[in-house]
Structure 1
Amino acid sequence: MASKEPLRITDPETLRAMAHPLRQRILVELNVREHARAADLARALGEPANSISFHLRVLARHHFIEEAPELARDKRDRVWRPVVEQFVIDRDIAGAERAIAPYTRWLRDMFLRDRDAPGEQENFHEGTASGAFLTRDEAERMTAEVTAVLEKWWDRTGAAKRADPDDPERTYYQVVFAVGPRDLATEPAQED
C-alpha cells in the first residue's frame, strides 16, 4: 500500500516526470488498483501498452512507483505499485506553475461549462466558490475537516473501483480545494 506521507518534489526533473498528463492518469489508476501491469493500465486508460511501459519506467526512476516482483507470475512479468498517494511541489522549482495549470484549466472549465450542451447531462458537474470570515485557526480546522471528507470518499470509491476496476459507471471526478485570504479591494475591476 502506498505511503500517505506526501513525496516532496524539489527538482525540475521530478516535476517534469509528474507533470505529464498520462503519467498523472497512471498514478491515479495505480493508487486505486494498488498494483497493475502495463497491459492492465493500457486497457483501463485506452493507451498503447508500450507507451504505458515507457511512462511506468519514468515514474519508477523518480520514485513515484516501484516494481512488485512478489506479485509477478514469472521473471519476465512486471507488476507495478505506487510508492506514494500524494506529492507536494516545492514552489521555488522553475516550472512549478506548469504542474498546477491542468487543475486551473479544469476548474475554469467547470465554472464555464454549458450544462445544457449535448453530452453534458451524463456526468455531474458542479463549481462552487464560497467564502467565510475565518481566523487562521478556523481556516486550518476547516481544511482538516474538508481533507478528512475527501480522504473518506477516496477510500470508499477506491474500494469500489478495486472491486470492479472496469465498471463503466465509475468515472474519475476531480475535486480541487483551496483556502486562503482574498482581498477583493486590491483586485482590478473587470470591464463590462
Structure 2
Amino acid sequence: MDEELDDVARVEERHRDDRVLDAGALRALAHPLRVRMYDILSQYGPQTASSLAERLGESSGSTSYHLRALAKHDLIREQADRGTARERWWERPVGGVSFGNPDAMATPAGRAASQLVMNEFLRGRNDQLLDFVGRGMAGIDPEWQHGTLISTATARLTPEQSKVLSHKIMALIDDAVDTYRNQTGENVRPVSIRADVFPLPELGEKS
C-alpha cells in the first residue's frame, strides 16, 4: 500500500506543472493538420517546414503557415541555434500537456475544439498501431518482437483503485521517458508508449 501511495504522490508531483491548454491554444491546435504536425514533433523531435511537408504530403508553404500559428500560442518554438533564415527548425517544448481545460469545456466552442484535438490525436495514434499490425509483427526484427506489447485486459475496479492503477502505470512511463528521452545510438528509434484506463458502460447503458 505504501508503494502505491508513493507512486500516486510521485506522479502527481511530476505532473503538477503540466500545461493545461487554454481556449486560445486549443483553438489554434484544433486543425487536423496541426495536430498531426504537433504529434510528429512530439514523437520524432525537431523538424523543418520542408521535412514536415514531405512527411505529410503538403506544401512547405502550408506547413510553414501552420507552424507559425502553433508557435503563436507557444505550442511549439523555434530552435534559435539551428537552421538558417530560409530553413527554420521547430520543436515541441519538453513537458506534459493536458487538453482537458475545465474553463474551455464550459463553452460549446471550447468543447468542440477539445473534441477535435482529442479525436485527431487518437486517430493518428490508432492509425500508427493499425499500420504496425497490418504490416505484420512478424515482419520486424526479432529483437524488436520481444520488445513489443499489444495487450488489453478488463478488471472490475472502484474509482480509487482505477486512480491508483493509472498512477502506477504513469510512474513506469515517466521513468522511461525521463531515462531515455534524448537517447541516441545504434538501433535506437522512437517507440510509442500508450496506456488506456477508463470505465466501460454497464450492460444496457448507452455508450
Q: Is the 8 A contact 1:15 1:99 kept in 2?
A: yes
Q: Of 166, 178, 182, which residue of structure 1 is paired with 2:197?
A: 178
Q: Is the 8 A contact 2:71 2:77 kept in 1?
A: yes
Cα displacement (A) at 1:28? 2.6
Q: In structure 2, how many angstroms separate the alpha carbons of the residues matched to 1:159 and 1:128? A: 29
TM-score normalized with structure 2 length? 0.60
What is the aligned length? 177
Q: In structure 1, how many angstroms separate the alpha carbons of the residues matched to 2:53 and 2:191? A: 16
Q: Is the 8 A contact 2:26 2:99 kept in 1?
A: no
Q: In structure 2, how many angstroms separate the alpha carbons of the residues matched to 1:21 and 1:163? A: 33
Q: Is the 8 A contact 1:107 1:127 kept in 2?
A: no
Q: Is the 8 A contact 2:35 2:120 kept in 1?
A: no
Aligned to 2:22: 10
Q: In structure 2, how many angstroms separate the alpha carbons of the residues matched to 1:172 and 1:49? A: 27
Q: Using a 3 Å threshold, how does the CA distance of structure 1 residues 66 and 102 change in structure 2: closer, same or farther?
A: closer
Q: In structure 2, how many angstroms separate the alpha carbons of the residues matched to 1:163 and 1:46? A: 29
Q: Is the 8 A contact 2:79 2:90 kept in 1?
A: yes
Q: Of 131, 142, 149, which residue of structure 1 is paired with 2:155?
A: 131
**Structure 2: stretches of 5+ with no match in the other structure:** 1-14, 141-147
Aligned to 2:12: none
Asked which structure has the greater RCO (Cα within 8 Å, sep 6+), the reply is: 2
Q: In structure 1, how many angstroms separate the alpha carbons of the residues matched to 2:83 and 2:125? A: 42
Cα displacement (A) at 1:142? 1.2
1:149 aligns with 2:172: yes
- Over the matched positions of the two proteins, sequence identity in percent amounts to 22
Cα RMSD of the aligned pairs, angstroms, is: 4.2
**Structure 1: stretches of 5+ with no match in the other structure:** none
Aligned to 2:40: 29
Aligned to 1:38: 49
TM-score normalized with structure 1 length? 0.64
Q: Is the 8 A contact 2:45 2:92 kept in 1?
A: yes
Q: Of 56, 65, 68, which residue of structure 2 is paired with 1:57?
A: 68
Cα displacement (A) at 1:73? 4.2
Cα displacement (A) at 1:50? 2.0
